[in-house]
Amino acid sequence: MIDCNAAIAALDWSKEPQGLYAPIAYALSSGGKRLRMQLVLAGCRLAGGNEQDALPFAEAIEVFHNFTLLHDDVMDRADVRRGKPTVHVKWNDNTAILSGDQMLIEAYHLLESVPTQHLPQLLKLFTRTATEICEGQQYDVDFEQRDDVQIADYIEMIRLKTSVLLAAALKGGAIIGGATEAEQEALYNYGIHLGLAFQIQDDLLDCFGDPATFGKAIGGDISCNKKTYLLLSALHRANPRQYSELHRWLELTEPSAEKIEAVKALYIATQAREAAEQAIAEHTAKALECLKVLPQNSETHHLEQMALSLAKRNA
């Protein structure tokens, strides 16, 4: 089995000018689970392919993902990523913009090495996915200013911003592994539901997680009035009294422990928390359903376990 962290660490960024490439090496060195890369390789193995054939596509997906993090951190003014200063803090905004651009170009450079017969299809899949992720990021920005965001809008936003990359990772691997079109689509849809369950779980953990395991302060989304699945559900489900109470708290923009506790209580009282847990269960079930059309082997079993463990994760 390919060691994803080792494969990413083996990419050579020692070339000149280092002002361009050192920030790329830095952005890719902070590790993480390399989840998307793993999904490419799993999709390939599941379809009976040799995972080595899927390595360039897996690397392209991983470099692309880290490019989006780099530019998102500039736009969000995020100072820390995985315990380390972000690129625009360690260097500056211009470096983060230009080295980020080059990372996106490097992702396409890696695509040149995919099996030639699959190049046109993988290029299209990659570019469509990249486009959807930018669209998702734009919707996320737009939602901050909008008062009419519905739960369905939110689901579509996180589908674009988070799910399609997991889905495309699996599908790309499956294409390289020689899967049928039906299998490719099943894996793609599994990835979509996995991503949705993952993101809604993230919203729950931000609010109800254990600070000891979650790694971030609890209630960050509440403090900045982020339109999460929980907030949109609570607004949708609240009775008039709960609705106006929630709105009073939304008007408070300073950090407040009292606000966090009060809004959490409203999420419970309006059953928004239950609705979120149910949505996670539904998307997990749909993800598992997608796996049924696939060859039942140890890889399929692994994806099954991944969906099930996601619904129980606490970090």
Instruction: Of 33, 14, 34, 17, give the one whose Cα is nearest residue 25.
Output: 14
Q: Residues 257 to 286: which contact a copy of itself by CB under 8 A?
A: none
Give min distance, CB of 81 to a copy of itself, in A: 17
| DSSP state letters, 132-193 | HHHHHHHHHHHHHH-S---HHHHHHHHIIIIIHHHHHHHHHHHHHHT--HHHHHHHHHHHHH
Give min distance, CB of 258 to a copy of itself, in A: 32
Give min distance, CB of 36 to a copy of itself, in A: 17
Give the single-character DSSP code of 150: -
Rounded to whole angstroms, the Cα distance separating 185 from 191 reads: 10
| 208 in contact with a copy of itself (CB under 8 A) | no
Rounded to whole angstroms, the Cα distance separating 235 from 157 reads: 18
Q: End-to-end alpha-carbon separation of the chain, Å? A: 26
Pattern of binders to a copy of itself over 151-180, x per CB under 8 A? ------------------------------
Place of tokens 């470096």: 95
Q: Which residues contact 245 (CB under 8 A, 6 or more apart)?
A: 262, 266
Rounded to whole angstroms, the Cα distance separating 127 from 124 reads: 5
Q: Which of 101, 185, 277, 282 binds a copy of itself (CB under 8 A)?
A: 101
| 250 in contact with a copy of itself (CB under 8 A) | no
Give the nearer residue to a copy of itself in terms of CB position, either 124 or 313: 124
| 109 in contact with a copy of itself (CB under 8 A) | yes
Q: How many residues does the chain have?
A: 315
Q: Residues 5 to 44: which contact a copy of itself by CB under 8 A?
A: 16-17, 19-20
Instruction: Determine if residue 208 is left, alpha or beta; phi over 0 gives left, psi from -120 to 50 gives alpha, anything else beta.
Output: alpha
Task: Tell me which stretch binds a copy of itself (CB under 8 A): 128-136, 165-173, 228-236, 300-308.
Answer: 128-136
Pattern of binders to a copy of itself over 46-85, x per CB under 8 A? -------------------------x--xx----------
Q: Which of 78, 141, 217, 281 binds a copy of itself (CB under 8 A)?
A: 141
Rounded to whole angstroms, the Cα distance separating 71 from 291 reads: 34
Task: Tell me which stretch binds a copy of itself (CB under 8 A): 78-86, 119-127, 171-179, 271-279.
Answer: 119-127
Task: Tell me which stretch binds a copy of itself (CB under 8 A): 40-48, 127-135, 168-176, 184-192.
Answer: 127-135
Q: Which of 83, 116, 212, 240 binds a copy of itself (CB under 8 A)?
A: 116
Q: Which residues contact 262 (CB under 8 A, 6 or more apart)?
A: 245, 249
Instruction: Of 110, 107, 100, 152, give the one whose Cα is nearest residue 129.
Output: 107
Give the nearer residue to a copy of itself in terms of CB position, either 139 or 267: 139
Rounded to whole angstroms, the Cα distance separating 297 from 304 reads: 11
Residue 301: its H or E element? helix 298-310
Where do contacts with a copy of itself occur on this chain (CB under 8 A)?
A: 16-17, 19-20, 71, 74-75, 93-94, 97-98, 100-102, 104-106, 108-109, 111-112, 116, 119-120, 123-124, 127-128, 130-131, 134-135, 137-139, 141-142
